[in-house]
Structure 1
Amino acid sequence: MLLCALLAGALMFADLRFTRMEPVRAQLSTLVAPIQWLVSLPSDALDWGALAFSDQRELLDENRRLREQILTLSHRVQRMASLTAENVRLRELLDATRQRDIPFITAELLSLDPDPFSHRMVIDRGRRDGVFVGQPVMDAAGLVGQVTSVSAYASRVLLVADASHALPVQVNRNGLRFIAQGTGQYDSLGVLHVPDTADIREGDLLVTSGLAGRFPPGYPVARVTSVVHDPGEPFARVDAAPVAQLQRARHFLLLFPPEPPEAPGRGGWTVALDPAAVEAALDLIGRPEEED
């Protein structure tokens, strides 16, 4: 051991003082490289095996979750067939009109507004695709926002999280109607003017109510995250989180909701009067006197 220590010290001194040790060190490194590879081979093999095992375990866990999800969705589909048939029978019993499917087109994200205080984006659909101002925009999970301006080949969309955006919603559980407004944060919406005694709970799903005719009813908007009752205050503070993936989604749906029927008296309905009935009514109430 002492001899090895002296030899190591001598080599270090020679390497420090003489430049001729550079090629020698290079040759020694080349000579020792296979030995280093053989020494590191067991640890590399263990690392590779652990990584492969962990990846396999993650794949097995993901496969198990997907199987459970498939079973859950299959169960829902089976129930959905029964519920759909029951819904048809109830609508026939009530003589209600059948809900029509809402047409849509797909769109893709082009860019985001760089302003940190504005939540807007640009999509690759425009006037040539039939896009119009106020058109609802969805993703795979729920409502994203609405179109605010349209050009020939692109459109700007105002997200529901923007502080200037508000829309009528209702609680899916009981039908209570409120207004949901953006807070300027992607993960938060405020539910306005909720009475302190209103039946709204954490976890309730808020869907579009269809009021004002801009957003079709029944589409998911947000889920209630907190309900705070302040003593002595007439209204509760209710916060909700958007169900749409506002910061991650890249593909969207543009809905084409049907136009609401025109109100009577504004060009929508026309009434034809029977001349004989008019004459009889005038004789009954008295004709107006003719001016000279």
Structure 2
Amino acid sequence: MVSLALMIIDHREHHLESVRAAVSTLTYPLQYIASLPLSAGDAISEIFSSRTRLQDENRNLKRENLLLQVHQQKMNALEAENMRLRNLLESSFKIGDRVLIAELMAVDMDPYRQQVLINKGSNSGVFKGQPVLDANGVMGQVVHVNRFTSSVLIVTDTSHALPVQINRNGLRAIAMGTGRINKLTLPNLPNNADIREGDLLVTSGLGGRFPPGYPVAKVTSIVREPGLPFANVQARPSAHLERAREVLLVWMLKPLNDSLPDESENPDQTAPAGKVSQ
């Protein structure tokens, strides 16, 4: 009865507000202690759920980051390939002849042969002895032709010889392969020959295989020993032989070998692939 009377008085007159506030203050520690296990359980559950969520998010972000890095690498490769193709196209405009872009498929692992395999063959009109260039200079010539692939002999192969001339003064010479990817040699040049380090060697057009004016190499060293009739001349190929991925196959608009005998008609009178005479 007393409780009911107090409730009615408090509800209508609000005289027990201060008493209720004091009692609530006194009972708060008991309420806090009573709710502590539940609050602690909720907090621990939140911690573990947050940790699990963060771990999942971390794994997802790592996976996305890896995918983005792979895509970025692919984009870098595509950008580099695009630049190489643009350089090749610009080179083809400078050449002025009919050209075809081909890609390298394989590199001969034989240390005594420097050949590469390209993805164009007789089906694309490729022929034996056809000049092959990259965006920077002469790379070699085709020596074997299949229907869909061809083998290219690199200018640095020991069996390759290429008639060249010094761009500065027109002095003719023969650039011979040394078996090293970054070195050519010019034999039989007299000690008093007008040649300097840094001279650009270009194709002379003699021999009927390469049209004139294509860059071949730059002279890197000249050793003249007294008492010897010939100088030791070394040159570095202009083409990026060790890292080229795309090459240009060249057809001359006005072939230089129209007067030469046809290899298919009289093969005994032609020089072997890679061997040319000045």
**Structure 2 length normalisation: TM-score?**
0.58
Structure 1: runs of 5 or more not aligned: 1-33, 35-98, 265-292
Q: Contact 2:132–2:247 (CA<8 Å) still a contact in 1?
A: yes
**What is the aligned counterpart of 1:186 among 170, 181, 185?**
181
1:160 is matched with 155
Q: Contact 2:216–2:239 (CA<8 Å) still a contact in 1?
A: yes
Shift of residue 262, structure 1, vs aligned partner: 4.7
Distance 2:116 2:138 in 1: 14
Pair 139,194 (structure 1): closer, same or farther in 2 beyond 3 Å: same
- Per the alignment, in what secondary structure is the counterpart of residue 181 of structure 2? coil
2:218 is matched with 223
- Per the alignment, in what secondary structure is the counterpart of residue 230 of structure 1? coil
1:259 is matched with 255
Residue 200 (structure 2) pairs with residue 205 (structure 1):
yes
Describe how 1:240-279 pairs up with structure 2 within 5 A. 240-257=235-252, 258-260=254-256, 262-263=258-259
- Per the alignment, in what secondary structure is the counterpart of residue 144 of structure 2? strand
Alignment-mate amino acid for residue 171 of structure 2: L
Distance 1:221 1:209 in 2: 10
1:126 is matched with 121
**Structure 1 length normalisation: TM-score?**
0.55
Residue 143 (structure 2) pairs with residue 142 (structure 1):
no
Distance 1:100 1:109 in 2: 21
Structure 2: runs of 5 or more not aligned: 1-50, 52-93, 261-278
Pair 203,116 (structure 1): closer, same or farther in 2 beyond 3 Å: same
1:30 is matched with none
Distance 2:126 2:177 in 1: 24
Q: Which has the larger radius of gyration?
A: 2
Shift of residue 260, structure 1, vs aligned partner: 3.0
Distance 1:178 1:242 in 2: 15
Shift of residue 263, structure 1, vs aligned partner: 4.7
- Per the alignment, in what secondary structure is the counterpart of residue 219 of structure 2? strand
Relative contact order, CA 8 A, sep 6+: which one is greater?
A: 2
**What is the aligned counterpart of 1:110 among 102, 105, 112?**
105
Alignment-mate amino acid for residue 107 of structure 1: A
Distance 2:116 2:258 in 1: 33
Q: What are the Cα deviations for residues 124-150 of structure 1, in whole angstroms up to 9, with x where unaligned?
A: 000010000000000011000000000
Pair 241,262 (structure 1): closer, same or farther in 2 beyond 3 Å: closer
1:101 is matched with 96
Runs of 4 or more above 6 Å deviation? none
**What is the aligned counterpart of 2:170 among 175, 194, 216?**
175
1:236 is matched with 231
- Per the alignment, in what secondary structure is the counterpart of residue 228 of structure 2? coil
Shift of residue 249, structure 1, vs aligned partner: 0.5
Aligned residues: 170
Distance 1:201 1:189 in 2: 15
**What percentage of residue pairs aligned between the two structures are identical?**
54
Distance 2:199 2:259 in 1: 34
Alignment-mate amino acid for residue 167 of structure 1: L
Pair 120,200 (structure 1): closer, same or farther in 2 beyond 3 Å: same
- Per the alignment, in what secondary structure is the counterpart of residue 165 of structure 2? strand
Shift of residue 100, structure 1, vs aligned partner: 8.9
- Per the alignment, in what secondary structure is the counterpart of residue 207 of structure 2? helix
Shift of residue 114, structure 1, vs aligned partner: 1.4
Distance 1:105 1:223 in 2: 26
Distance 2:156 2:110 in 1: 14
Pair 263,142 (structure 1): closer, same or farther in 2 beyond 3 Å: closer
Is 252-261 or 225-234 further displaced after alignment? 252-261
Q: What are the Cα deviations for residues 45-97 of structure 1, in whole angstroms up to 9, with x where unaligned?
A: xxxxxxxxxxxxxxxxxxxxxxxxxxxxxxxxxxxxxxxxxxxxxxxxxxxxx
Pair 103,262 (structure 1): closer, same or farther in 2 beyond 3 Å: closer
Q: Contact 2:118–2:149 (CA<8 Å) still a contact in 1?
A: yes
Alignment-mate amino acid for residue 199 of structure 1: D
Q: Contact 2:208–2:257 (CA<8 Å) still a contact in 1?
A: no
- Per the alignment, in what secondary structure is the counterpart of residue 128 of structure 1? helix
